[in-house]
Amino acid sequence: MSVTILVGAQFGDEGKGKIVDYISASADMVVRFQGGDNAGHTVVNERGAFKLHLIPCGIFKKGCKTLAGTGMVINPDELLKELDELESSGIDVEHLYISSRAIILMPYHIELDCLSESTGRTGIGTTKRGIGYAYADRARRDALRFENLLDPEYREIRLQRILPTINAELVAKGGKSLSIEFLREKLNYWAERLGHRIVDAVSFVNDSINSGEKLLFEGQLGAMKDIDLGIYPYVTSSNPTAAYAAVAAGFPISKITEIIGVLKAFSSAVGTGPFPTEIKGDEAYVFRGTGENIDDEFGARTGRARQVGWLDLPVLKYASIINGFTSLAVCKIDKLDDFDEIKICVKYKLDGMEINHMPSARELERVEPVYITVPGWKTQTRQIRQYSDLPINAKKYLEIIEKATGVPVKYIGVGPARDEIITRNIK
- Residue 162 contacts by C-beta under 8 Å, 6 or more apart in sequence? 137, 142, 144
Candidate list 115, 131, 331, 345; residue touching ligand IMO; CB under 6 A: 131
Burial per residue of 187-204, b for 16 or more beta-carbon CB atoms within 10 angstroms, e otherwise = beebbeebeebbbebeeb
Q: Within positions 228 to 267, which residues make up the interface with ligand IMO, using CB under 6 A?
A: 234, 236-237
Q: How far is residue 360's CA from residue 362's CA, in Å, rounded to a whole number?
A: 5
* Burial zone of 160 (CB within 10 Å; 0-12 exposed, 13-18 middle, 19+ buried): exposed
Query: Which CB, 325 or 377, lies closer to ligand IMO?
Result: 325
The distance of closest approach from Cβ of residue 208 to Mg ion in the complex, given in angstroms and rounded to an integer, is: 26
Nearest to 262 by CA among 314, 312, 306, 221: 221
Nearer to ligand IMO, 51 or 184 (CB): 51
- Per-residue contact string for residues 316-355; x = within reach of ligand IMO by CB under 6 A: ----------------------------------------
* Beta-bridge partners for 354: 349
Q: Would residue 13 show up in a list of annotated catalytic residues for this protein?
A: yes
Angle in degrees, CA 319, 330, 420, rounded to 5 = 155
**Site mask, Mg ion, residues 40-59, x = CB under 5 A?**
x-------------------
Q: Which is nearer to Mg ion, 300 or 344 (CB)?
A: 300
Q: Which of 13, 21, 295, 312 is catalytic?
A: 13
The CA-atom distances, in angstroms, between 190 and each of 39, 137, 144, 148, 374 are: 21, 19, 12, 11, 54
Shortest reach from residue 290's CB to ligand IMO, in Å? 20
- Binders of ligand IMO in range 63-122 (CB under 6 A): none
Nearer to ligand GDP, 69 or 413 (CB): 413
Q: Binding mask 296-315 vs Mg ion (x if CB under 5 A, - otherwise)?
A: ----x---------------
336 with 265: CB under 8 angstroms? yes
**Helical spans, DSSP H, in 263-354:** 285-288, 313-323
* CB proximity list for 315: less than 8 A, separation 6 or greater: 9, 10, 11, 223, 224, 267, 358
Report whether 240 contacts 8 (CB < 8 A).
Answer: yes
Cβ of residue 393: shortest distance to ligand IMO, in angstroms? Answer: 29
* 375 residue type, one letter: P
Contacting residues for 266 by C-beta, under 8 A, at least 6 apart: 287, 308, 309, 310, 311, 332, 335, 336
Least distance CB 41 / ligand GDP (angstroms): 4
Instruction: Give contact residues for ligand GDP (rule: CB under 6 A).
Output: 8, 12-18, 40-42, 44, 294-295, 300, 331-332, 334-335, 413-416
| 21, 28, 37, 41: the active-site residue | 41
132 sits near ligand IMO (criterion: CB under 6 A)? yes
* Residue from 7, 270, 409, 417 binding ligand IMO (CB under 6 A): 270
Q: Which of residues 364-403 bind ligand IMO (CB under 6 A)?
A: none
The span from the CA of 44 to the CA of 314, in Å, is: 30
Residue placing its CB nearer to ligand IMO in the complex, 208 or 236: 236
Query: Given the complex with ligand GDP, which of 137 and 295 has the nearer CB atom?
Result: 295
The upper half-sphere exposure of residue 375, i.e. CA atoms within 13 Å in the direction of its Cβ, equals 6
Task: Select the span of 38-46, 164-172, 244-252, 416-424 touching ligand IMO (CB under 6 A).
Answer: 38-46
For residue 196, indicate whether it is catalytic. no
CA atoms within 13 A on the CB side of 215: 25
Stretch that binds Mg ion, among 78-86, 100-108, 294-302, 337-345 (CB under 5 A): 294-302
Q: How far is the CB of 317 from Mg ion (least distance, A)?
A: 23
Cite the active site residues: 13, 41
Binding site for ligand IMO (CB under 6 A): 8, 12-13, 38-41, 124-127, 129, 131-132, 220-221, 225, 234, 236-237, 270-271, 300
Binding site for Mg ion (CB under 5 A): 13, 40, 300
